A and B are shown apart, each in its own frame.
Chain A
Amino acid sequence: MTTPTLFTMLMLGLFIAGTLASFTLMRLPSLLRSYTFSSVALGGLALALAYEKSAMHLIPVAVAVVAIKALLVPFVIRNMAEHSGASLRLSSSLRPSASWFVGGLVFTLGIFLALRSPLILAGEGIGQILVLLPISVGVILVGLVMMILRRDLLSQLIGFLVLENGIAAFSLSALGGIPVAIEFGVYSAVLIGAILMATLSHRVQALFGTHDTTHLNELTD
């Protein structure tokens, strides 16, 4: 098992802080900023791994993470939101103060579950940045809960992206990344998915006059 370098530790800290802030913040610009920070940190972790393991194929992956997740996706979402005239104030089932608590709790639960799972024990000797493995499970859980608790389309979209960041972190941690061709396929799918979701939220805003998901209640049995 490798001891993480100072740079890796810094990136890990930024990754966690960005994720928890995404869970909590209630204004779109600040939410996108925190998501950008966590995505940059993910790119940094890929770079750290490329350096520590001499895995040069991770350098283009790191560049793609920053280009797509930290620049392109937030740009698309901000652009769509501004053009649709949506309120930048987002809505959630939780108050901001309670969000910090719930976010921290969910994240800790994710880490606890991962530590209790066979993933860690079996990871001895395989793991690339083993400490990232339980963190990635925590981030996945935070993204999932964020999608459930948030009540507007844009926050749900960012919740999905947070979840996807957790999965990308897991692939770095457990497997040292996935084959580059597949990695680009996955990022393309994420990018197209984000564009489609942003387009739909734009249309929903135009039709319903709001992004609030509580208005999407016509289809019932």
Chain B
Amino acid sequence: MTFFLSVGILLIGSAVCLLPNMHGRMLRAIGLITSIITLVTMTWMLGPVLVGLTEGWQTSWWDVTPFASLVALLVVWLYACAMGVSFHYLAVEERKEILSLRHMRLYMVSVPLFVLSMLVAIFANNVGLLWVGLEATTLSTTLLVSFYGKKSSMEAAWKYIVLCSTGIALGLFGILVLGYAGAGAGLHEAEAFRMNLLQDVAGTMNPGIVMWAFVFLFIGFGTKIGFVPMHTWLPDAHSKTPAPVSAMLSGILLNVAFFTLLRFKVIVDGTLGNPDWTNQFFLFFGLFSILLAAFILLIQRNYKRMLAYHSVEHMGIMGVLVGLGPVGMVGFTIHMIGHALAKSTLFFGAGELLQRFESTKFYLVHDVMRRAPRTGFLFLIAALFLIGVPPSGLFLSEYILVGEGLTRSPVIALLALLGITMAGLGLSRHLFELLYSPVVPEEKQDASVETGNLAHTVMTVQLGAALVFGIWMLSGAGWEMVSQIAKSLTPL
């Protein structure tokens, strides 16, 4: 019931912004209030499921599990944080006359629909509904990629919708092939589209067909996750959206797509009797994603694109972790949470830098630590969290990657470690140049004195949450709970 209440809140929150006679501040306030109410209702509903106080529930359309609850809570948390930052970010853009009321309305209508589609994809028990939800995430954000109406925005938006829609269409083909295998195992038309029933008959499905299905599912959903070589849309789209939306795209949408792919992996593993075959996909494409992103990060010239490529690298790390079996899955869960918190904070910071220095090019932004000390300090801490400096939770997940990887696939583990190190060095090199190098004549000289704002507050809260989470995991206290959550996704 609470779930449908949240759905209703998001729909109303979106529809209200279409009313005439709304001014900018009112639209921003509605966006923020909608996100906070959604966060409260979803936490009320999912918190007990997440910590194991109550059982999840399942119908023919919906499936609420602890892992799904975790992903959904991350969605609504980042949604509330992004709308908090948007409240300030859009006000600045409106004051500078970069955005009109029409833009603001589009933003406030699209974002709740985007969140709603992610929640549908997370909780769907019907694979068709899951597909519609995932495709809707692309459709609801396309106009946000082309938001600023520049040539580069149009290029990014075109690549985004064409590549993601094609990928997701191939994913639909994979879903149909899986349904076909389910029909072969005795399921009737509608039953062949229910995730739990497919899982029940997994052992009797034709392995050849199921393997075909997984190849298409992997290509399709892998495009949405941003695995190399299907990643080409990601750096363009994530660098062209307004910063709070970039934070949501990078911080959580990729995780949602990853989660949906893992739900199919469980079915395929059930048919094949073990996860070895599917794990190979994750290991190979994960490693490829880490290495390619690491090379590009060394030569990157734009800080928003740098953050986007870091997302490709982190999806690669999560891919390798999945390929390492049950312990890797715990690492995956830790990495997902840590990455969501750190990456979104960095994108919020990137938005602040862009508004202050009016460029996303490294060579046009210097000496941030002196000229914008709040943003600079928070950006530095978030970057350290992202590259896994303790007490970041990412330190533990990357430690698991190396430790477990050396036992199971030493070559892959060593190459992954090399890639992670290169990516970390790339980030550090650019970061210190951005924060401490002296100002050059070409860049904007007259940036005003920085004062604290809502974006800084949100970034501080996010980093506080990341710090608590990291200490909780590194102390060992959180291991048992996170293991239980990970086990609810992959029982094998």
Contact = CB atoms under 8 A, between A and B. Distances in A.
Nearest to B162: A156
A121 B91 CA distance: 61
Contact of B235 (A117, A217, A221): A221
Contacts of B143: 196
A178 B176 contact: yes
A167 B216 CA distance: 12
B299 to A, nearest CB: 7
B156 A219 contact: yes
B152 A221 contact: no
B154 A167 contact: no
B161 A219 contact: no
B151 A221 contact: no
B180 A204 contact: no
Given A179-B189, A189-B132, A147 B209 contact: no
A175 interface: yes
A221 B296 contact: yes
A186 B158 contact: no
B236 interface: yes
A176 B151 contact: no
B157 interface: yes
Given A179-B189, A192-B139, A185 B132 contact: yes
B73 interface: no
Contacts of B193: 178-179, 182
A119 B216 CA distance: 14
B206 A118 contact: yes
Given A119-B209, A122-B206, A185-B128, A197 B180 contact: no
B59 to A, nearest CB: 14
A1 B126 CA distance: 29
Contacts of B264: none
Given A204-B158, A213-B158, 19 more contacts: A118-B206, A118-B212, A119-B180, A126-B183, A147-B162, A160-B169, A170-B173, A175-B179, A179-B128, A181-B128, A185-B129, A189-B139, A196-B139, A200-B154, A208-B154, A219-B152, A219-B155, A221-B301, A221-B305
Nearest to A193: B165
* Range for the number of chain B residues in contact with chain A: 35 or more
Interface residues of A, number: 46
Interface string B129-144: 1011001101100110
A108 to B, nearest CB: 19
A167 B169 contact: yes
A153 interface: yes
Nearest to B302: A221
A171 interface: yes
Contact of A189 (B135, B177, B179, B189): B135
Interface string A115-138: 001110011001000000000000
A207 B138 CA distance: 23
22 contacts: A119-B177, A122-B184, A167-B169, A167-B172, A174-B177, A174-B179, A174-B183, A175-B176, A175-B192, A177-B189, A178-B128, A182-B131, A193-B135, A197-B165, A200-B158, A201-B158, A207-B154, A208-B154, A217-B155, A218-B152, A221-B300, A221-B301
Q: Is the interface of A mostly helix, strand, loop or mixed?
A: helix
Contact of B162 (A174, A179, A197): A197
Interface string A87-119: 000000000000000000000000000000111
Contact of A221 (B131, B162, B177, B299): B299
A163 interface: yes
B146 interface: yes
B208 interface: yes
A170 B142 contact: no
A154 to B, nearest CB: 12
Residue in A144, A185, A217 with the greatest tally of chain B CB atoms within 10 Å:
A185
A163 B166 contact: yes
A140 B173 contact: yes
Contacts of A156: 162
A203 interface: yes
B173 A203 contact: no
A212 interface: no
Given A178-B128, A178-B179, A200-B157, A167 B212 contact: no
Given A179-B189, A207-B154, A174 B208 contact: no
Contacts of B135: 189, 193
Contact of A186 (B138, B156, B172, B192): B172
